Structure 1
Amino acid sequence: MTGADAAVGQDLIGPALSVIAARRAGLPAGRPLVVGICGAQGSGKSTLAGRLACQLPAAATLSLDDLYRTRAERQALARTVHPLLAVRGVPGTHDVDLGLALFAALDARRPLTLPRFDKAIDDRADRAAWERHEAPLHTLVFEGWCIGARPVPEADLARPCNVRERDEDPDGVWRRHVNAQLAGPYQALFARVDLMIFLAAPSFETVIDWRCEQEAALVAARPDAPQAMDRAAIERFCALYERITRTLLADMPDRADVIAMLDRSRRCTTLRVRQI
């Protein structure tokens, strides 16, 4: 267990469970609770989601990453809309209808099969690897880097926010498509979240550092892993998420139910809990 993982357990699990209990008490009888966890890459979302699910009865986790469109679907978007949509991650590269169908099955108390995405092959995992729940779930912990994000005003899209947007999206086609997806289908998906937890990085630059640490850990664990990225490649990769990440860092602390302000070591320096 890393120090970051230990900090997540010590600082957030107890307060989060208390808020979850209070929110559940206010729900209509029989309604499953959907807990959203939003945070930039490397902030500890998956760790927190897994630990919460382990301590809640009849609970499971779903990552926004597991709703990625298939590789073939993203390649089709790259051909018909913009080449950058071949890269998974931003709004528009997820199967929102699949997510909405899962929430409908959850609310109907039907058996639930949660999809899984295999990043090693950049494609949806075979259905045999999906997670089946025959008994109705009481809680679904839904984690993802942009869960709860809102679109920016159209005028904000006129100027690229980084070099990659400037060079690869000079006409703004990609960023306007991403923003439109966020304004439309994704808001329906995020609306099902009953309670939001936000893991706030100190800055966007720190997110790049965290992503570099993740890459180094991957290389250490698998020296033969293909396509390991150096810092320049990671900065270029993270540029695709910069606009939404910066917007979340600015506005999500005013909206989330539980806000954990993290330091560069992912330790929680300030924890704010809104009264339920």
Structure 2
Amino acid sequence: MRNDALDAVEGLTRRALEEAGGRLLVIGLCGAQGSGKSTLAAGLRQRLQSDGIPAAILSIDDLYRTRAEREAMARSIHPLLRTRGVPGTHDVALGLRVIDALERGEATLLPRFDKASDDPLPEGRWEKAATGTRLLLLEGWCVGALPQGAAALVEPVNALEREEDADGVWRAFVNRALAEDYQALFARLDRLVLLAAPDFGIVRRWRTQQEHDLRKEAGGGMPDARIARFVQHYERLTQHILEEMPGRADLTIRLDEMRRVIGICNG
């Protein structure tokens, strides 16, 4: 991703910080898996902190519920909730507590999730946002998303939904969670930025590249066949986001299949 994306987000952020008048500013950064959200957030934090502006990053991935909690949901609601990722598998209340503490100006622990163990890290290994943090970047694949209408849930969008959620219980639960608790979290956003992939088809390729890199670096990563199934959990909502969010995001950065910026649009 070129610096023009970072420059655009930095410009939006600095203008918003001036308007915030010293209070905490929360910027949501939404983008499909592999779109470059983490890299963009880290670059922005580095630029701001070099100017003495305390900034923190919280990924929605770090708010995942424990494996035991998701196992309980899988037994009582639907087996697909065992897999982390979709609305309903995050501890939204934890995210709200983090924002509340930062708004009070407190030094605040930032949750961190260990994907290798599929559980949150112990609090002793969480990062800490500094006292007086001015900016929180909340990044994640569904940050700022809106629920779908009931009619849109009827037809499955892929094999996972057809074969493992034929009655629509899972997708209805996910949509309901997004419509309720998650809107309370997203209401705390002052600005919303979207990294828009060209389509969902590229997301599987991007995610596969990520997993291949993990295999090289740490000997981990999912096999390709498992990736193909895994990304289907995200397909419905990712497509919905790409269709509806550009019309209301404060900044939309359109990417090509190589993650090159092909357009920047202010909302």
Q: Which category describes the TM-score, using the shorter chain as reference length?
A: over 0.9
1:107 corresponds in structure 2 to 103
Structure-2 residue corresponding to 1:36: 28
Name the residue aligned to 1:171: 167
**CA shift digits 1:241-275 (9 cap, x unpaired):** 1110000110111111111110011010111123x
**2: CA distance between counterparts of 1:106 and 1:176?**
33
In 2, Cα distance between the equivalents of 1:238 and 1:148?
19
Aligned mates of 1:245, 1:229 — CA distance in 2: 22
For each residue in 1:155-209, what CA deviation from the matched residue of structure 2 results, as whole angstroms up to 9, or x when unmatched? 1111111111011011111100000000000001011111111100011000111
Q: Per the alignment, in what secondary structure is the counterpart of residue 223 of structure 2? A: coil
Cα displacement string for residues 82-129 of structure 1 (whole angstroms, at most 9, x for unaligned residues): 111110000000000101111111112122111100111000001111
Question: Which residues of 2 match residues 222-237 of structure 1 at below 5 A?
Answer: 222=218, 224-225=219-220, 228-230=222-224, 232-237=225-230
Confirm whether residue 244 of structure 1 aligns to residue 252 of structure 2.
no
1:13 equivalent in structure 2? 6
Alignment partners' CA distance in 2, 1:38 and 1:192? 14
- Normalised TM-score (structure 2): 0.95
**C-alpha distance 214-133 of structure 1, shift in aligned 2 (>3 A):** closer
Q: TM-score normalized by structure 1?
A: 0.92
Report the counterpart of residue 78 of structure 2 in structure 1: 82
Hey, which bits of structure 1, 4+ residues long, moved more than 6 A?
Answer: none
Q: 2:256 matched to which residue of 1? A: 263
Are residue 159 (structure 1) and residue 152 (structure 2) matched?
Answer: no
Counterpart pick for 1:95 among 68, 91, 108: 91
2:63 & 2:38 partners in 1: Cα distance? 15
Judge conservation of contact 2:200–2:235 (CA < 8 Å) in 1: yes
**1:30 Cα deviation from its structure 2 partner:** 3.0
TM-fit CA distance, 1:134:
4.4
Q: Contact (CA 8 Å) 2:63, 2:112: kept in 1 or not?
A: yes
Q: 1:46 aligns with which of 33, 38, 50?
A: 38
Q: In the alignment, which residue of structure 2 is the partner of 1:144?
A: 140
Identical aligned residues as a percent: 49
Residues 50-109 of structure 1: per-residue CA shift (max 9 Å, x gap): 111111210010000010011111111111111111100000000001011111111121
Q: Which amino acid aligns with 1:44?
A: G
- The one-letter code sitting in structure 2 at the alignment partner of 1:97 is A
**How far apart, CA to CA, are the structure 2 residues paired with 1:261 and 1:48?**
14
Cα RMSD for the two superposed structures: 1.2
**Structure 1 contact 112–136 (Cα < 8 Å) conserved:** no
Q: Which residue of 2 aligns with 1:133?
A: 129
Is 1:189 paired with 2:181?
A: no
Please tell me the residue identity of whatever aligns with 1:40: A
Q: Note the residue ranges of structure 1 that are not aligned, 5 or more in a row.
A: none
The 1-side partners of 2:18 and 2:131 are apart by: 21
Deviates more, 1:127-136 or 1:255-264: 127-136
- Rounded to whole Å, the distance in 2 between the matches of 1:14 and 1:170 is 45
Counterpart residue identity of residue 180, structure 2? G
Which ranges of structure 2 fall in alignment gaps of 5 or more residues? none
